Amino acid sequence: MENKHLLILGKSGTGKTHLIKSALSQGKFGNRIFIIDIKGAEYADLGKETTFLDACKTLKTMKKDTPFLWRFVPESESQIQMFCRLALTVGNCVVIAEEVSEYARLPKFRVLLTRGRSEGVQTVCIAQRPADVHRSVQSQCAMTIAFFTDDSRDLQWVLERYDQNSADEVRTLDKSKYEIAVWGETHLYNQYFK
């Protein structure tokens, strides 16, 4: 596993969570999974909510390869910071970070991105609006997957970060077919989502 951070963009209902769940169910992200389920129910079908206390209790008996799927439903920014710290302590895992624009600016989340790779922590950042994702997150992600958008602010972001062709591409994706555009290190798409 390359442990590179990924960014997934798309308006509500475009298929971001569906894409992630399908990769998870195929085992593409391994078996040490850490989900920040900020809406509280998006991943409820994968297991019951894990509390910080539950995770800490398990931590004592955990080995580097012990499988787990922890689904955290944070209630505050300080809880998000705690979960991010925990992910680094645990190491060797994939963090699925839903609605990342809500907390990407938090220091512990940014540490997760900057120090994650050396601890074997890969983060999948999911957001509705690219412009709302903190720049440090954008720059740490090796690959972007984008679903359809015709929003001028989103298109401007694509144009600035990539190019005019990419902006045209994302504007003409067929949303009824859940089509996507892939930019950056596109080989990562084949690794995780094909």
Ligand X SMILES: Nc1ncnc2c1ncn2[C@@H]1O[C@H](COP(=O)(O)OP(=O)(O)OP(=O)(O)O)[C@@H](O)[C@H]1O
Interface contacts to Mg ion, rule CB under 5 A: 16-17
Complete edge-to-edge strand list for the sheet that includes strand 141-147? 68-72, 32-36, 93-97, 121-127, 5-9, 141-147, 180-184
Q: Among 4, 5, 6, 10, indicate the residue that binds ligand X (CB under 6 A).
A: 10
DSSP 2-19: ---EEEEE--TTSSHHHH
What CA–CA distance (Å, rounded) separates 84 from 106? 10
187 binds, among ligand X, Mg ion, none (CB under 5 to 8 A by kind): none
CA distance 26 to 137: 26
- Number of residues counted as binding ligand X (CB under 6 A): 10
Which of 15, 74, 116, 130 contacts ligand X by CB under 6 A? 15
In this chain, which stretch among 11-19, 61-69, 76-84, 115-123 interacts with ligand X, using CB under 6 A? Answer: 11-19
With CB under 6 A as the contact rule, the residue among 1, 2, 13, 118 that binds ligand X is 13
Q: Kindly state the smallest distance separating residue 192's Cβ from Mg ion, in Å.
A: 17
CB closer to ligand X, 16 vs 32: 16
118 token code pair: 């050396």
Q: Check residue 52 for interaction with ligand X (CB under 6 A).
A: no
Q: Per-residue string for binding with ligand X, 122-141, x by CB under 6 A?
A: ------x-------------
Spatial CA neighbour of 33 closest among 99, 77, 97, 76: 97
The residue range among 15-23, 45-53, 82-90, 148-156 that interacts with ligand X, by the rule CB under 6 A, is 15-23
Does residue 50 touch ligand X according to CB under 6 A? no
DSSP one-letter string for 89-149: HH-SEEEEETTGGGTTTSHHHHHHHHHHGGGTEEEEEEES-GGGS-HHHHHHEEEEEEE--
Q: Footprint of ligand X on this chain (CB under 6 A)?
A: 10, 12-18, 128, 178
